[in-house]
Amino acid sequence: MSGGYDGRIYRWPRTADGFGPREDLVILKGEAFRDPHVACHAADWDGDGRTDFVVGARHGEVFLVRNQGKGFAAPVQLEAGGKPLKAPAGDAGPHAADWDGDGDLDLLVGDDRGRVTIYRNEGTRAAPKLAQGETLVPDRGGRFVEERCKLSEECAMRAKPWVVDWNGDGRPDLLVGDFHDHRTPEANGNEHMHGWVWLYVREAGSR
């Protein structure tokens, strides 16, 4: 599954010897997708046994595209703390996972300044209700053109989180992929772009 730069969610079906041709599952339209760069995560958001999509838009909104069994519903913007959820710096990269081990799905969202925010589920597995966001990975600067960022691992944007028990200790850890673009109008080749994958290992007792 993947989002794309054209407002679509794609699937490559598994075959006996690899993957079949790309299929369009969802085509996203409307004002929220006027800049149609989208990221998605496939998850059973409401515990009904069907795979839904949590979708991040370029301008920061996060939507639920519910699987109705015979197609997908129109996208509905998620709320957090009773307000429409929007990543602090745009370019929302969502990932749904049970971060706090209470049996329901929380939502982690990366943004355009390399930050990762968690929205904890205060509802239930079948009826999620997201709390206000808490920062897990701090702002790492977004797009910089300062000299210090040319080779720095610390300057980052477009964070994309993924939760996994990396070391098998029973606690969810955090992987974050990011990107940095130091190009200027005078030097717009690819020599000043880089991407990193970071591992944040969960400590005992941490939230």
- At 157-197, the pLDDT tens digits run 899 999 999 999 999 999 999 988 777 666 666 666 778 89
The predicted structure's pLDDT at residue 187: 62
Spacing of C-alpha 28 from chain mean position = 17
Is the Cβ–Cβ distance between 198 and 176 less than 8 Å? Answer: yes
CA–CA–CA angle 132, 135, 84 (5° rounding)? 30
Q: Are strands 38-43 and 52-57 parallel, antiparallel or unpaired?
A: antiparallel
Is the pTM higher than 0.85? The answer reads yes
The predicted structure's pLDDT at residue 207: 75
Give pLDDT tens digits for 1-51. Answer: 999 999 999 999 999 999 999 999 999 988 888 889 999 999 999 999 999
Query: 16 versus 207: which is more confidently predicted?
Result: 16
